[in-house]
Structure 1
Amino acid sequence: MSNGSTDHYWTNKHRNNGFFVPSYLRGSSYIQKLEEVHRAQAAQRELQSAATASASLQNGHSGASGSKQAPASHMGMKIDVIERAPTSDYDDVVAPLPSKWNKDDKYGGLEVIGDGQEVKYNTSRGTKDQDHEVCSIRADHAMPNQAGIYYFEISILSRRRDETSVCIGVSNKSVPLSRPPGWEPESWGYHGDDGEVYVGANVGKKYGARFGPGDFVGCGVNFRTRKIFFTRNGSIQNSGQRESFRSNIKGKLYPTIGVKKTGEHIRVNFGHTPFVFDIDAMMAKEQQAIQESIAQTSIERLVPGMDETELIQQLVLQFLQHDGYVETARAFADEIHQEKQALNLNSNKTIDSATIKDDEDANRRQRIRRAVLEGDIDKALKYTNLYYPQVLEENDHVYFKLRCRKFIEMVRRSAEPNNNGLRKKSSSRTLSDVPNEMDVDENGFDDEMETEDGSEPGTEDQDLLSQTIAYGQSLQAEFKDDPRRDVRKTLQDIFALLAYPNPLKVKELAPQLDRRGRAAVAEDLNSAILSSLGKSSRSALETLYGQTSVLLDYLREDGGSGSFVSIQSIVDDIPKSPTF
């Protein structure tokens, strides 16, 4: 059985919010992307709820009367309320997991009951109908090819011990549901009454044991090998030495079951709970095979004359220099040189060392990066305008991100524990209570907002929320006529943060408020500066990472070998440095 308390906890902890992770897909690139979609949608719903609630308060709940809803106002900032959250950018890229039976995609007297994972057949029919007609039902979503392997199980709950009529398999959306899976083209099925497997025809082939009440029967597809397999009570069924059969799989395949007899009752497990069959072991074996294939690949054609260790060292060294870590690069180059000297057995051979030159631009870029990573956006803007005055003029998207990040940092500060009392006290303030505009100089930052050691926090805390609102108003005024949809949506999302007494405690807002968001802004700004200097905006290591990610995404599209490789999982497996 694919079990373990950790797996059981993992799959069940998502039930309250409708999201679940089958244990065998945990850590996969597919699930990582699916979780990104889920978090983005949850945050959007939370923000939409706040905006709608704010609008209702502003309009005295006038929405119920059918009148057009006025824009919501978050402490003086007007925001257009979108009645339906926009579709996630990932919807066309990441296929959702099947989660329940589709009550609108079934035939005859099948009844979907409970949480949508149980099906019961209650209709009585004549003998003639029973001989020729089967009622089938499909899941709400197709099997995701990008997962590489997909598997589901059913448990047969019927109490009658006589011959069962249950069959399990997969089918294309076009397959009629008045026939069992496997009897029609573009469908495959394993039938309990005879233990045979059917592939697009009503003539089957001997495959495994018959099954009935009390049995757990599973169906899986390996999209890389294009093979379908079936299990019974934790064991793969087979005919002779065949554990699975290759077929001309194409199109979207939906988990499907069919029944013929009144009283048949089944429950499906799409991964909400541990499976009886050890699908985790099958997935691990497939991943191991791909990893071994990768390990055997030579880099000789990639960089002739350089072994893997040297290539890695050069990539790291170039990354350090590219991103401005000059002193670290110099220390790393010295370490490489000492290591080569120690391994050199030829006393007459000279080991060359890398020369790391001082780079003033690198030092300046580091200074700017450090300011962004510390959340001091004003300082980053000052240094950027001082050293590279044309960069923000030529890269308005970077300028916009910096301005928005400053607003987020101000929201963070006003919501931090030492400011909670102030925020709660001031949360009811409106436009009339705060300045109409914030004093912003021509370079887009306010000198008074820069914090330095020795400043008095008491005076600053009293005006922090007002400053945040005023800054938001100036930001809104600056970009109110911008036609870009992503700009409008970003402004809507960040302004909605003010609707919460303490947004830091709302988990759906964590991606927006997380300090790690500073890194993305810092990288965008650093890349823009490098481009302005005529240099590559990305290091060789970043380029290699990006190209590998794109290639893996391409290999995952139809469930290829890329589905079994996750760069993030490889990074996560690297031993962490000890903390002192």
Structure 2
Amino acid sequence: MVANQQAEAASAVAPGAEATVDPMRLASRWRSQEEWQRAVEAEDEPAPSELNTVNSSGLFAVVSPDKLSVRYLSSHNHGHDVGVVQANCPAPTRRAVYYFEMGVRNAGYKGQTSIGFTSDGFKMRRQPGWESNSCGYHGDDGYLYRGHGKGESFGPKFTSGDTIGAGINYLLQEFFFTKNGSLVGSCPKEVKGPLYPTIAVHSQGEELTVNFGKEPFCFDIEGYILEQKMRQQSVTDKLNLPPDISHWIVRSYLLHYGYQDTLSSFDMANTTDPPANLQNGYGEPPEMYGLSHRKLLRQFIMSGDIDSTFKRLGEWYPQVIKDEKSVICFLLHSQRFIEYIRAEQLEDAVKYARANLASFLTHKAFEGLLRETLAVLAYEKPEESCTGYLLDSPQREFVADAVNAAVLSTNPAMKDPKNCLYSCLERLLRQLTVCSLERRAFNNDQGDAFLLHKELQNYERSRRP
């Protein structure tokens, strides 16, 4: 379901009627599967994979054909006779940490190898850290250089056989460096703009290799990232929150969507008594409203029994379907049509569409959605077509969520209509997403952000053997 059609249907209200529920803002329709995937892909950035053979000081260094090692060519006569090589693209920024390593295959005559980060316009005959907008850890003295020629004591020297790593911790806005799998230290990241992973050789015989992640790192970078995130989590853990708050958040989700059986099992498995909704002054949460009815309505819709859904709504909540051209009626009629298609009852589907969907043709706001729904008829195998998503269970779930929200909106205790659309859990997740994006914006669009779909994908990957 395309975004512009969702936007049109969001304002779909019959003339003279008031919209109490906007189904297109439900959690199940925040984004389509394709839009979620595009949002996740937008977070992916090109990552360095090899050395740049064009933008390098070629007079003093030669890069190997595989573009993963560099060797000093000339004689070391001057301070600016440096063989500097950057990666083929800047370090990605939309993540918690970026890291790469170099191996010192040969420390050469003076061991003046170095590793660090440099900007796009960096002078390619200077060591990283010797010029502004750069930072480098040097092997001959173990000093750290941060934008000027004077180094500062930082860590041990490194020589032939050592593996040195350099990284950017976007969580703390720091550079950090490692040696042979151990953390050496860190320093504030004061450099702005895109930064290129950079290595340099500076005397005869020096030879370096680079690892951008194609091979396992010597340093446990995954453990480091986890440790950094756990440190941030420890700050959150110190916040003073009501006891069993996570229990009540999960419970409110089950209440909101009418999962009565799961809720009963959940309560039986926990010894804590259900809370009174003191904040709103009621003896029970507003989401308790019509719980058993909402449970049955969801079951009807998820099983494809739309006729029983209409019947029960007429008995229990007639105001929800009183307006025959409301969004809820449109969604239910559309779903009944789809159920005919699912059952391969095409003649019945056509008859139903003429009797119950044709009246929506004059309603411009439904035009796009209606066209896409009716298009299912055009395909011999509709489940394999571009509109096949309409026959999947998430579409039923969307309709069930819309009906659930419409029923909740009839509760006089539900003062804020937005509470009909989202559970507490979903509002928290949306707030978490917004806050993480704000934090990233504050750090010059650097660092990771919370995207629920991405987190779920990562969780699924972690469960695979």
Q: Is the TM-score greater than 0.5?
A: yes
Does residue 83 of structure 2 align to residue 134 of structure 1?
yes
Q: Give yes or no for contact 1:384–1:391 (8 Å, CA) kept in 2.
A: no
Does residue 216 of structure 2 align to residue 216 of structure 1?
no
Superposed displacement of residue 254, structure 1? 3.1
Q: Give yes or no for contact 2:56–2:86 (8 Å, CA) kept in 1.
A: yes
Superposed displacement of residue 170, structure 1? 1.4
Distance 1:405 1:377, change over 3 A: same
TM-align CA RMSD = 5.6
- Name which of 181, 185, 189 aligns with 2:132: 185
Superposed displacement of residue 545, structure 1? 3.7
Superposed displacement of residue 268, structure 1? 3.2
Instruction: Give the residue type in structure 1 aligned to 2:197.
Output: P
Superposed displacement of residue 405, structure 1? 12
Instruction: Give the residue type in structure 2 aligned to 1:443.
Output: N
Q: Give yes or no for contact 1:106–1:135 (8 Å, CA) kept in 2.
A: no
Instruction: Give the residue type in structure 2 aligned to 1:389.
Output: I
Q: Could you report, residue by residue, the CA deviation over 1:403-436 in whole angstroms, capped at 9, with x for unpaired residues?
A: 699879978x99xxxxxxxxxxxxxxxxxxx99x
Superposed displacement of residue 100, structure 1? 0.9
Does residue 2 of structure 2 align to residue 118 of structure 1?
no
In 2, Cα distance between equivalents of 1:402 and 1:185? 66
In 2, Cα distance between equivalents of 1:253 and 1:528? 51
Residue 277 of structure 2: aligned partner? none
Q: State the SS of the aligned residue for 1:170.
A: strand
In 2, Cα distance between equivalents of 1:139 and 1:213? 25
Residue 154 of structure 1: aligned partner? 102
The correspondence of residues 305-324 of structure 1 with structure 2, limited to 5 A, is 307-309=242-244, 311=245, 314-324=248-258
In 2, Cα distance between equivalents of 1:149 and 1:308? 33
The correspondence of residues 437-516 of structure 1 with structure 2, limited to 5 A, is 438-439=350-351, 440-444=353-357, 482=368, 515=393
Distance 1:212 1:401, change over 3 A: farther
Residue 252 of structure 1: aligned partner? 194
Distance 1:394 1:358, change over 3 A: closer
In 2, Cα distance between equivalents of 1:340 and 1:260? 71
In 1, Cα distance between equivalents of 2:394 and 2:193? 40
Residue 389 of structure 1: aligned partner? 321
Instruction: Give the residue type in structure 2 aligned to 1:118.
Output: L
Distance 1:265 1:231, change over 3 A: same
Residue 19 of structure 2: aligned partner? none
In 1, Cα distance between equivalents of 2:287 and 2:365? 40
Q: State the SS of the aligned residue for 2:356.
A: coil
Q: Give yes or no for contact 1:136–1:178 (8 Å, CA) kept in 2.
A: no
Residue 282 of structure 1: aligned partner? 224
Residue 23 of structure 2: aligned partner? none
Instruction: Give the residue type in structure 2 aligned to 1:547.
Output: Q
Distance 1:502 1:90, change over 3 A: closer
Distance 1:247 1:390, change over 3 A: same
In 1, Cα distance between equivalents of 2:331 and 2:127? 57
Q: State the SS of the aligned residue for 1:544.
A: helix
Q: State the SS of the aligned residue for 1:288.
A: helix
Q: Could you report, residue by residue, the CA deviation over 1:445-467 in whole angstroms, capped at 9, with x for unpaired residues?
A: 9xxxxxxxxxxxxxxxxxxxxxx
In 2, Cα distance between equivalents of 1:203 and 1:172? 19
In 2, Cα distance between equivalents of 1:260 and 1:521? 67
Q: State the SS of the aligned residue for 2:232.
A: helix
Does residue 295 of structure 2 align to residue 366 of structure 1?
yes
Residue 430 of structure 2: aligned partner? 546
The correspondence of residues 196-211 of structure 1 with structure 2, limited to 5 A, is 196-211=143-158
Superposed displacement of residue 252, structure 1? 3.4
Does residue 455 of structure 2 align to residue 523 of structure 1?
no
Q: Could you report, residue by residue, the CA deviation over 1:17-74 in whole angstroms, capped at 9, with x for unpaired residues?
A: xxxxxxxxxxxxxxxxxxxx9x96998xxxxxxxxxxxxxxxxxxxxxxxxxxxxxxx
Q: Could you report, residue by residue, the CA deviation over 1:491-522 in whole angstroms, capped at 9, with x for unpaired residues?
A: 69x98xx8999969xxxx99999756754564
Distance 1:186 1:394, change over 3 A: farther
Q: Give yes or no for contact 1:216–1:233 (8 Å, CA) kept in 2.
A: yes
In 2, Cα distance between equivalents of 1:323 and 1:130? 70
Does residue 240 of structure 2 align to residue 292 of structure 1?
no
In 1, Cα distance between equivalents of 2:82 and 2:380? 57
Q: State the SS of the aligned residue for 1:132.
A: coil
Distance 1:111 1:101, change over 3 A: same
Q: State the SS of the aligned residue for 1:550.
A: helix
Q: Give yes or no for contact 2:254–2:260 (8 Å, CA) kept in 1.
A: yes
Distance 1:229 1:405, change over 3 A: farther
* Structure 1 runs not aligned, ≥5 long: 1-36, 44-87, 238-242, 300-306, 342-352, 415-433, 446-474, 574-580
Q: Could you report, residue by residue, the CA deviation over 1:294-319 in whole angstroms, capped at 9, with x for unpaired residues?
A: 222112xxxxxxx413x556545544
In 1, Cα distance between equivalents of 2:333 and 2:101? 49
Q: Give yes or no for contact 2:433–2:449 (8 Å, CA) kept in 1.
A: no
Superposed displacement of residue 169, structure 1? 0.9
In 2, Cα distance between equivalents of 1:257 and 1:199? 15
Distance 1:356 1:251, change over 3 A: closer
Residue 100 of structure 1: aligned partner? 49
In 1, Cα distance between equivalents of 2:196 and 2:323? 51
Q: Could you report, residue by residue, the CA deviation over 1:267-295 in whole angstroms, capped at 9, with x for unpaired residues?
A: 43333443211233333332332333222
In 2, Cα distance between equivalents of 1:125 and 1:335? 74
Q: Give yes or no for contact 1:153–1:216 (8 Å, CA) kept in 2.
A: yes
Distance 1:531 1:491, change over 3 A: same
Q: Give yes or no for contact 2:97–2:447 (8 Å, CA) kept in 1.
A: no
Q: Could you report, residue by residue, the CA deviation over 1:513-535 in whole angstroms, capped at 9, with x for unpaired residues?
A: 97567545643553355457674
Q: Percent identity?
A: 22
Distance 1:565 1:180, change over 3 A: same
* Structure 2 runs not aligned, ≥5 long: 1-30, 275-281, 461-465
Q: Could you report, residue by residue, the CA deviation over 1:355-388 in whole angstroms, capped at 9, with x for unpaired residues?
A: 69998854454344334444x3856985698653
Residue 8 of structure 1: aligned partner? none
Q: Could you report, residue by residue, the CA deviation over 1:152-200 in whole angstroms, capped at 9, with x for unpaired residues?
A: 21224x4575444532111233434443321221111112344322111
Residue 230 of structure 1: aligned partner? 177
Q: State the SS of the aligned residue for 1:200.
A: coil
Superposed displacement of residue 438, structure 1? 4.5
Residue 20 of structure 2: aligned partner? none
Q: Give yes or no for contact 1:135–1:178 (8 Å, CA) kept in 2.
A: yes
